[in-house]
Amino acid sequence: MHARILRDLRNRTAVAAFEVQRQAYRHITRNEQLPARIRHQAQLALNAFPHQTRPGNVKNRCLETGRGRGVFRDFRLCRYQFRLKALRGELPGVMKSTW
């Protein structure tokens, strides 16, 4: 397996593991009815999360090649791999269009 694919999978699992805590801290940070001290502590806790757990760190990559550009989100394949698999009939519900 390609190293980029492994790194992407590791980042996705880290983001998923911390998502509930991140959402809770974000809710506390944005709640203006809470005291400023508590909101500030929640913001500091958010900043203290590891870099790998930030959702912006996750990049869509092709599962076959690890390519980071031209990736279809629904299939998680780059455009070339998508075309090859579609022509071979390996993608359900996808067929070459004719008119």
The pTM of the full predicted model, rounded to 2 decimals, is: 0.71
Q: How many residues does the chain have?
A: 99
Q: 62: Cβ–Cβ under 8 A, 6 or more apart, which residues?
A: 68, 71, 76, 77, 78, 81
Averaged confidence pLDDT in the chain: 90
pLDDT digits (tens, 9 = 90+) for 41-62: 999 999 999 888 888 888 889 9
Q: 23: Cβ–Cβ under 8 A, 6 or more apart, which residues?
A: none
Residue-range domains of the chain with CATH: 1-59 (1.10.287.1480), 62-93 (no CATH)
Distances (CA, A) of 20 to 33, 41, 88: 21, 17, 40
CA end-to-end distance (rounded Å), the chain: 39
